């Protein structure tokens, strides 16, 4: 079987057996095609650990972030593990391959004043595309959604009576997140002009439909670009703002207002609580306030 056919079989397995998301599949496909182009092997059984080592060295010479290199290596290990289990190769050349250690940087987040300025700037616009962006901004910052979850929300995702939103996350796992009155009000207002994004009497199952994207809903890239433009208008550095920063902001605000870590983990959809623990950084102002209020020596006169 050709390398390309084996790759297609691997991706099909990831969807059928692992429930991998479209985003994960696209990353695997892109990373593994890069590897296949590098080794140019017609038979995957001919690939050796030396080829793998040369590929990893080539990656290190490019300006890839450690996280990106780790992802590419992970894709490679999963691919060859699959080939070995399917008896397409006799030995796994990635068996002893170790991904580089990654430093976990503290997450970037917006202050409450910055978030309010961003939201107010979006809501002040009358043009319908800007109003849609405002609704998406409010939903994301109010519920801590991933950008892929946000753009892929179905129209019927919100239970308005229970004030909950049903989100399909990584691995197609569903979770319920409480939704604020402000966010519900913004969505209900948006519903009144949502059909402007469909036109011609067409129907769509998506909350944020699109006529131009292949998925039928607004793309992550379009939302990302909209955020950057909004940041400039709000007087916030566009380098400081991304969809993931809004998710960081959601988690940081909850923890800084004494939410318990397990609740935040559930709302963010993290499998492992250690992933959520990165958000337990606390602003220096709050630390100073805590010491002043609670430390015995601070109360001595």
Give pLDDT tens digits along the chain (301 positions): 788 899 999 999 998 888 788 888 999 999 999 999 999 877 898 899 999 999 999 998 888 888 888 899 999 999 999 999 999 999 999 988 876 666 666 668 888 889 899 989 988 988 889 899 999 999 999 999 999 999 999 999 999 999 999 999 887 889 999 999 999 999 999 999 998 888 877 889 999 999 888 899 999 999 999 999 999 999 999 888 888 888 888 988 888 888 888 998 999 989 888 888 777 765 444 555 666 666 666 555 4
In contact, 7 and 29? CB cutoff 8 Å: yes
d(CA 60, CA 71): 13
Is this structure's pTM higher than 0.85? no
| Per-residue CA distances from 128 to 132, 190, 203, 235, 285 (Å) | 6, 9, 19, 22, 39
* In the block, residue with structure tokens 């983990």: 265
The SS3 call for residue 10 is helix
Assigned architecture for domain 112-288: Orthogonal Bundle (1.10)
Sheet holding 174-178, edge to edge: 158-159, 164-168, 174-178
Q: Is 205 exposed, middle or buried (0-12, 13-18, 19+ CB in 10 A)?
A: exposed
Q: Where are the domains of the chain?
A: 3-85, 112-288
What pLDDT is recorded for position 34? 94
Class level of CATH domain 3-85? mainly alpha
**Which residues are known to be catalytic?**
146, 170, 244, 247, 270, 279
What pLDDT is recorded for position 106? 64
d(CA 220, CA 23): 10
Nearest to 14 by CA among 4, 6, 2, 24: 24
Q: Crossing angle for the helix pair 22-39 and 49-60, nearest 10 degrees?
A: 110
């Amino acid at each position: 079987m050709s390398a390309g056919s084996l790759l297609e079989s691997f991706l099909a397995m990831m969807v059928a057996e692992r429930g991998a998301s479209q985003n994960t599949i696209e990353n695997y496909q892109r990373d593994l095609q890069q590897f296949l182009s590098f080794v140019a092997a017609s038979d995957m059984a001919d690939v050796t650990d030396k080829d793998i080592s040369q590929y990893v060295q080539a990656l290190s010479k490019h300006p890839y972030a450690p996280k990106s290199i780790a992802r590419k290596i992970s894709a490679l290990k999963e691919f060859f593990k699959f080939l070995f289990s399917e008896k397409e190769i006799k030995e796994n050349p990635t068996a002893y391959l170790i991904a580089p250690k990654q430093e976990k940087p503290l997450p970037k987040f917006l202050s409450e004043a910055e978030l309010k300025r961003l939201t107010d700037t979006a809501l002040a616009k009358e043009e319908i595309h800007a109003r849609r962006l405002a609704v998406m901004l409010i939903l994301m910052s109010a519920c801590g959604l991933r950008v892929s979850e946000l753009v892929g929300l179905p129209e019927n995702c919100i239970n308005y009576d229970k004030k909950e939103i049903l989100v399909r996350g990584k691995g197609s796992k569903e979770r319920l997140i409480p939704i604020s009155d402000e966010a519900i009000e913004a969505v209900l207002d948006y519903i009144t002009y949502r059909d402007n994004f469909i036109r011609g009497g067409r129907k769509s199952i998506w909350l944020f439909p699109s006529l131009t994207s292949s998925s039928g809903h607004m793309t992550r890239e379009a939302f990302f670009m909209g955020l950057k433009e909004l940041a400039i208008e709000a007087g916030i550095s566009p380098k400081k703002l991304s969809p993931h920063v809004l998710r960081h902001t959601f988690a940081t605000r909850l923890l800084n207002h004494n939410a318990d870590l397990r609740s935040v983990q559930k709302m963010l959809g993290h499998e492992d609580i250690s992933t959520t623990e990165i958000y337990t950084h606390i602003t220096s102002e709050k630390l100073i306030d805590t010491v002043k209020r609670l430390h015995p020596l601070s109360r001595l006169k």
